[in-house]
Amino acid sequence: MSDLRLATLGPLLIADAPAKAQATLTLDAAAPIDADALLAEPAGIPGRPELPRLVAHTTLKPPPLNTPAGVAALVHAIAHIELNAIDLALDICWRFPGMPEAFYRDWLRIAQEEATHFTLLRDHLLALGFDYGRFDAHNALWDMAERTKHDLLARIALVPRTLEARGLDASPGVRAKLVGAGDKRAGAILDVILRDEIGHVAAGNRWYRFLCEQRGLDPVTTYAELAARHQAPRLRAPFNLAARRAAGFTDEELAALG
């Protein structure tokens, strides 16, 4: 397809996870953009495989980390987050019209980096003797996408700046667990993911402030209102303050973390 926003619907609707990642990587980043087109939502967003089975996050009981299955389950959980992140970045491209072209190119770049992350993790799972879909997973990331599908400001505030920023906080501890369990390859993949995710959260901060300025809103008080309205998860320490600063959070925003 010639229009970038319309083209993103193709991978978004693909159910097979590896095929979704590959189709995302083949999207033309230089394609023209019709920023003002109002695109009808097709059925089946997002395309998902039959497995993994999606359950409440409170019911997930992974095997012990001192077992091969336990290491694989943790890698699988990260892969599932990255698959969701592909869908989230693709969805923001087609769903929300009226933004500058740079906005859509930012999110396509992010979708392609998330696709690379998923592919790295899935390949590693295969090397461990498992595959994506082997363990149960949860749908919390996409649940937030559904709650914010009618408001771009809320979507940016509560997905990249909240849920993905939580990934910045969690990354050092998860990496330490995997490396401590002997999986140095997973640790190296997490280094790549953390580097890229700082950039993804930075894009969220940049476009969140763009919209706040456009709408005459205070970024800090507006974030608190959106988080309460859409029932965002409460943020808990420890926080990766260095990564959050690198991603563009201000001192005032970091102080508000508590």
DSSP labels, 55-78: --GGG--PPPTTSHHHHHHHHHHH
Asked if omega into 52 is within 30° of 0 (cis), the reply is yes
- What is the pLDDT at residue 253? 95
- What is the pLDDT at residue 17? 98
Mean pLDDT along residues 109-129: 98
More confident residue, 153 or 140: 153
Which residues have a Cβ under 8 Å from the Cβ of 191 and sit 6 or more positions away?
A: 175
- What is the pLDDT at residue 180? 97
More confident residue, 257 or 208: 208
Q: Tell me if residue 137 falls in helix, strand or coil.
A: strand
Would you list the DSSP string of 156-180? HHHIIIIIHHHHHHHHHHHHHHHHH
- For the cut 70, the answer to whether the pLDDT of residue 163 exceeds it is yes
**For residue 201, how many other CB atoms are within 10 A of its CB?**
26
Radius of gyration in angstroms for the set of CA atoms belonging to the chain, rounded to a whole number:
18
- What is the pLDDT at residue 58? 87
What are the pLDDT digits (tens) for 47-95?
Answer: 999 999 999 988 999 999 999 999 999 999 999 999 999 999 999 999 9
Alpha helices (H) in 96-163, listed in sequence order: 101-127, 140-147, 152-158
Strand partners, 137: 54
What are the pLDDT digits (tens) for 187-225?
Answer: 999 999 999 999 999 999 999 999 999 999 999 999 999
Region for residue 57 given its phi and psi (left: phi exceeds 0; alpha: psi -120 to 50; beta: otherwise)? alpha
- For the cut 90, the answer to whether the pLDDT of residue 1 exceeds it is no
What are the pLDDT digits (tens) for 5-53?
Answer: 999 999 999 999 999 999 999 999 999 999 999 999 999 999 999 999 9
Domain boundaries, the chain: 4-255
- What is the pLDDT at residue 186? 98
Burial class (CB in 10 A: 0-12, 13-18, 19+), 163: buried
Cβ pair 132, 122 in contact under 8 A? yes
Which residues have a Cβ under 8 Å from the Cβ of 224 and sit 6 or more positions away?
A: 256
- What is the pLDDT at residue 111? 98
- What is the pLDDT at residue 68? 96
Distance CA 22, CA 27 (A): 9
